[in-house]
Amino acid sequence: MRSSVRRMSSLTTYAGASAKLAAMSSNLLKKEDYEALMTKASVPEVARYLQETPMYSEALKGVDVEQIHRRDLEIILKADLIKDIKKFVAFMVTLDKTFVRCLFTRYEIENLKLAIRNALIEAEAKRTIEYLKSKFYDLGEWATIDPIKVALSSSREEILDNLEKTPYYEVIRNIFASYRGPRKNIMGIIENALDSWFFPRFLESAKKLGNKDYKVARRMIGVRADLINLEWIVRVKKFYTLRSEEIYNSLIPVYFKLNTNYLHQLCDAKDVKEVLDMGINGPYEEVFRNLKDDDLLPHGITENVRRFLYKEAERALSSFSNFSIASFFHYFYLKEYEIMDIISLIEGVRYKIKPNEMKKYLIRVI
């Protein structure tokens, strides 16, 4: 009797959440919106157009779009995404708290990656606080780090001081203690280590959602981990000199379509061309299409991975029940990538790139 009541309560809650998310999803930009944005002549024109759309009208309400700067628009868009997550969490009061924490941790890790990159690699660019704010998600009460402080750190020691008593301290300390390679390559090692720390925790937290939702999360989280691992192996073979066992041990220990035997074969490949050949014959052949061992490879595989994940988010509702966590992954992954596309469009407008050329840099295929 009690389990029946719990199931009915869960179904009712998801019914309400799914209805809200379905309504929000219907407000995502359409193909014609993308095409219109590509024709704009300035950032204020882009902002003015977005201000009239159902998705971004509230976020841009009261904003003087005629005076808006690119970085201010980025801040508003990213804040709107986090606001939506907070609204979803507030509505889904029965959602497991560990899973909720992981939803925000994912964006905090993205903040941390950018912050450390600025401190170690781009410090000479003299980034201003205003510029840095536009790059970070404002997580408010869910933040455990101050990304601005980390970004403005002048040494590895200062980075660690600013991460003390946070969940990330040991991860970064271990990298700094063990990696002595070129500074330009350390970011790949750091980013991969943070992902390897996070993804198993994210997937473990999803187990508390129940079997149906765990099945959804296992696919959505597992596919993303698979693709990050594949992209990492390609980058290692292209830019690093790690041994096969070092590459394998650095992979995210979360798999969906990939198996350990296939991953060992990729790590043992003699060069990046062999990895690409194996990839085109593997479970994610779509990601490896049209890739060559040339200067465009890093950008190419990143774009292919993002486009695959965009399609995976689109498919989430047809693959699973609407009355599940699938509605969450569907909406928030699509909106996250839409905001990335808007930022790319803004850059295209600023640099007077023609629409047909702009399309090459978008995640969504237009």
Q: The domain that contains 57 carries what CATH number?
A: 1.10.132
Q: Are residues 49 and 80 in the same domain?
A: no
Asked if residue 172 and residue 86 are part of one domain, the reply reads: yes
The sign of the torsion formed by the CA atoms of 361, 363, 365, 366 equals: negative
Q: How many CA atoms lie within 13 A of 185 on its CB side?
A: 13
Q: Is residue 318 part of a domain?
A: yes
pLDDT value for 43: 96
Q: Is residue 73 part of a domain?
A: yes
Residue 206: helix, strand or coil by DSSP? Answer: helix
Residue 8 located in a structural domain? no
Neighbours of 292 (CB within 10 A): 11
Q: Judge whether 63 lies within some domain.
A: yes
Tell me, what DSSP letter sits at residue 322? S
3-class secondary-structure state, position 57: coil
Supply the range of the domain harboring residue 259: 213-324
Q: If you ran DSSP here, which 8-state letter would residue 2 be given?
A: H
Amino acid 5: pLDDT: 42
Residue carrying structure tokens 């790059």: 135
The domain boundary residue, chosen from 174, 209, 244: 209
Query: What's the distance, CA 303 to chain centroid?
Result: 12
Name the DSSP letter for residue 359: G
Domain boundary among the residues 186, 209, 232 is at 209
Model pLDDT, residue 197: 98
**Could you read off the pLDDT of 89-128 as tens digits, one per residue?**
998 888 899 999 999 999 999 999 999 999 988 765 556 7
Residues 223 and 300 in one domain: yes
Domain shared by 220 and 339, yes or no: no
The predicted pLDDT at position 1 comes to 45
Q: Which residues does the chain have with pLDDT short of 50?
A: 1-6, 8
Claim to verify: residue 94 and residue 217 sit in the same structural domain: no
Asked if residue 47 and residue 130 are part of one domain, the reply reads: no
Predicted structure pTM score: 0.91
What is the predicted pLDDT for the residue at 317?
85
Asked if residue 220 and residue 199 are part of one domain, the reply reads no
Alpha-helix residue ranges (DSSP H) falling in 140-181: 147-151, 156-163, 169-178
Query: How many domains does the structure of the chain reveal?
Result: 3
How far is CA 96 from its chain centroid?
Answer: 22
Asked if the structure places residue 3 within a domain, the reply is no
184 and 269 both lie in a single domain: no
